[in-house]
Amino acid sequence: MDQRKEPRVAVRAPITVTLLGLAGEPSMPGCILNMSASGLCISVPRPIPCGVALKVENRSTLMLGEVIRCAFIEGRYEAALSISHTLTNLDDLRQLNRAVWREGLRRQAEDSGVETRSRS
């Protein structure tokens, strides 16, 4: 019997998985297989211990969570994750960060009397 409380949506999206707080090779490639409002099922090349905190990211999203299950299924490791935090629109955040940085440099240069050129 399926005990899920939330519907799952099938997804095939490449990700980078970073294990937090473990020594060794903390990052590995992976793929989101499906997701719900508070969880993910991912495919990874090696097992991840239950209870490990991790970061899952792609170009525009960063998620933090914990492994609640990991098993070898059909030739790959599948890990079920409980997601606690999600940041989206990272491209917009990067653009804003660059704009703020450039503005800070411009003001610093004005204060010190140095001329600057804008690099876009």
State the pLDDT confidence band at 3, using cuts at 50, 70 and 90.
Answer: low
pLDDT: which is higher, 102 or 22? 102
pTM, 2 dp: 0.73
Taking residues 25-45, report their average pLDDT.
93
Task: Please count the residues of the chain.
Answer: 120
> What's the pLDDT score for residue 22?
76
Strand, helix or coil for residue 114: coil
The set of residues, in sequence order, having a beta carbon less than 8 Å from that of 23 and lying 6+ positions away, is none
pLDDT tens column, 39-94: 999 999 999 999 999 999 998 899 999 999 999 999 999 999 999 999 888 788 77
